[in-house]
Amino acid sequence: MITGQHSCIRTTELDDVAALQRLYALPLPPATLMDRKREPVRLTRVELAELVRREDASAPTLYTVEDAAGAIAGFCMFRASGQDLAAAQAAWLFFDEAAYASPLADEAFLHFAHEAFVRKRLNKVTVYCADYEEAMRRFVTAKGFQSDGVQREVFCGGGRWHDVECLSLFRRDFMGDEA
């Protein structure tokens, strides 16, 4: 558990499944929760509970972000791309878009940056943003993520086709001379 001035970041527990399910039930899902074919994944509460149960406590990849009052504000996660590549996909998923512009999101990012680039010694972290995830895109670009390109019209939701952008942050760019 990492307690900051504005947040508490901890390993996701079974009691968090109902809140986590809210992300999977959004009318337009976060790009990071889509499968490899860019199709929305709709996990049930039972499937999410199994996912949380399988989480390895020694190397968690799914974290719950609470605000200073202890309410769940969102989640952040790692999805390994492969050890040989020393890369991972990351996501910061907040229920309120305004959270991306808050100190709470900054603390969540710093936790993940330390986890990714210092503890796990990853070289690259990628983030996927759908065209309607403007707040998350502004958040990650402000942290130094650069666009790797846009997949045009890769999924249909809400009556229209949507683009998904991949953005990356390299260890050397985040850590500078310390890398």
The one-digit pLDDT tens for each residue of the chain (179 residues) are 778 899 999 989 999 999 999 988 888 889 988 887 787 788 888 888 888 888 765 455 889 999 999 999 999 988 776 555 688 889 999 999 999 999 999 999 998 898 889 988 899 999 999 999 999 999 999 999 999 999 999 988 889 999 999 999 999 999 886 75
**pLDDT per position as a tens digit, 51-91:** 888 876 545 588 999 999 999 999 998 877 655 568 888 99
Instruction: List beta partners, residue 94.
Output: 74
For the record, the structure tokens of 73 come out as 């504000």
For position 35, what pLDDT does the model report? 82
The most distant pair of C-alpha atoms in the chain lies apart, rounded to whole Å, by 47
User: In angstroms, what CA-CA distances link 172 with 131, 139, 149, 165, 178?
Assistant: 28, 19, 20, 22, 8
For residues 70 and 169, give the distance between their C-alpha atoms in angstroms, rounded to a whole number: 30
Count of alpha carbons within 13 Å of 35, Cβ hemisphere only?
Answer: 6
For position 151, what pLDDT does the model report? 94
User: In angstroms, what CA-CA distances link 115 with 38, 122, 126?
Assistant: 27, 9, 14
For position 127, what pLDDT does the model report? 95
For position 119, what pLDDT does the model report? 86
The one-letter code for the residue type at 115 is: E
Residues with Cβ within 8 Å of residue 152, at least 6 apart in sequence = 163
Q: What is the model's pTM? A: 0.86
Q: What is the DSSP string of 54-86?
A: H--TTS--EEEEEETTS-EEEEEEEEEEEGGGT
Judge contact between 42 and 105, C-beta under 8 A: no
